[in-house]
Amino acid sequence: MARTVSKDNGEANVPAGRISRLASMTRIAAGVAGGMMAEGARQLRDGNRPRLKDMLLTPQNAQRISSELAKLRGAAMKLGQMLSMDAGDVIPKELADILARLRSDARTMPRAQINRVLVKAYGKEWRTKFTHFSYQPLAAASIGQVHQAETLSGEQIVLKIQYPGVRRSIGSDIDNVAILLRMSGLIPRNIDLGPLLEEAKAQLHDEADYLTEARYLSAFGKALGKDKRFVVPRLYKELTTDSILAMGFADGSPIESIANLDQVERDRVVGNLIELMLHELFTLNMVQTDANFANYRYQHETGKVVLLDFGATRRFTPDFVAKYRNLIKAILTDDEGQIITAAENVGYVINGVHPVYRQLLIDIFGLIGEVLRAEEPYTIKGARLSARMTEKTLAMKDYRDDWRAPPIDAIFFHRKFAGLFLLASRVDAHVFMRPLLEAVL
């Protein structure tokens, strides 16, 4: 999950040591606590009875949390990004709004720190491997930043350079963020975040191993090599290490730029991405689960979509894929009993909860069914699908004692699903899901 950076973007050393990263977490906690005390005192002076949530969620505290996590980068920032993408499912919207700042607040490494990473990976004479290397990053994210370079043979490539200390800090960073989340009081005590946090650690360890991402890059390149709709950058294996990923430079415009094209092209591009997602799950059993817009580029001259960042790729077991296929089939039949049975087989808890909460869950599957069952292209933006979905998830807040963690695999896949629906809404594309689903089911 990366963002492009401007030349005047602020630089900041990435804290690489365990003690320095812990100190940053301590500053967050101390700053938030001080801010809460000040806000509580202010409300008392105004004759109000301060509430914990109101004291925590001040603009100043939001800035403190997001600013410090942005300086840390690594797992702390990545977890904040992951959680903020699942507002309504994992954390309350108020906290998600704070963490959402992290999706666009990455700092960049100063030149001296970049040099140290390159020396460690390639040796002191690393410059002899390139005819040109740009210190100005093309993009910066939570785990690394991207730089353009030119090989000795004149090929244009990019180097994805990992921030120092990220890999060894994953476990402690996530544990410390979890403590902050618990301290906030916004997450009900009965909710067990343990499985999600452990899964986040495993996923982040994979993302932080660029040799693993290189294998996924190669796998997608092979799987989509003959598909003329997409471009997968070439892997430069000889320049790739566990902390630097080297691949071909594939230019393109932001995917959101298709909003300026005609309806037919918008529909085609988004439809192709949705078809690819279904192919990933039901055929490859391997899904790039991060549908952040920055991971797609559109080539106006060819009409192709460049696919970037395979670090968040996840393999799904045949058992999950089979159960999820049955859930899709049940949704297409619009039979409530079949939908409940199939959803519980996937891992959702629908029965044995408050009747109102149960109905809200069923209503959410119903909203998804609107799109999947439509007999003609569906306008997500015009149907206010995201707003109606948010209304249901916000209503669930009144029944937090009934909340159960969604199945981990479903969380990751729905992250991709929701991201593509958000793209369809952003560019006002019409999606025709039913024939795409029937082709893979």
Residues with active-site annotation? 290
Sequence-distant (6+) residues with CB within 8 A of 348 are: 361, 404, 406, 407, 410
Contact by Cβ (8 Å): 292, 318: no
Sequence-distant (6+) residues with CB within 8 A of 294 are: 1, 2, 3, 4, 139, 254, 308, 309
Neighbouring C-beta atoms of residue 387, cutoff 10 Å: 10
Contact by Cβ (8 Å): 407, 316: no
How many Å apart are CA 31 and CA 15, to the nearest integer?
Answer: 18
Q: Which of 424, 428, 62 is nearest to 274 (CA)?
A: 424
- β-bridge mates for residue 246, sequence order: 159
In angstroms, the Cα distances linking 232 to 50, 101, 229, 274 are 53, 29, 10, 17
Q: Which of 431, 428, 400, 420 is nearest to 90 (CA)?
A: 400
- Cα torsion at 106, 110, 112, 114 (round to 10°)? 40
**φ, ψ for residue 365 (rounded to 5)?**
-65, -30
- Strands 305-307 and 230-231 come out as parallel
Sequence-distant (6+) residues with CB within 8 A of 45 are: none
- In the numeric block, which tokens belong to residue 188? 């009900």
Residue linked to tokens 């995201």: 386
DSSP letter string over 409-431?
HHHHHHHHHHHHHHHHHHTT-EE
Contact by Cβ (8 Å): 12, 145: no
State the burial class of residue 28 (Cβ atoms within 10 Å of its Cβ: 0-12, 13-18, 19+): buried
Which residue pairs from 368-372 have beta carbons closer than 8 angstroms and sit at least 24 positions apart in sequence? 368/331, 369/331, 369/332, 369/334, 369/339, 371/421, 371/431, 371/433, 372/328, 372/331, 372/332, 372/433, 372/434, 372/437
Contact by Cβ (8 Å): 370, 385: yes
- β-bridge mates for residue 247, sequence order: 158, 235
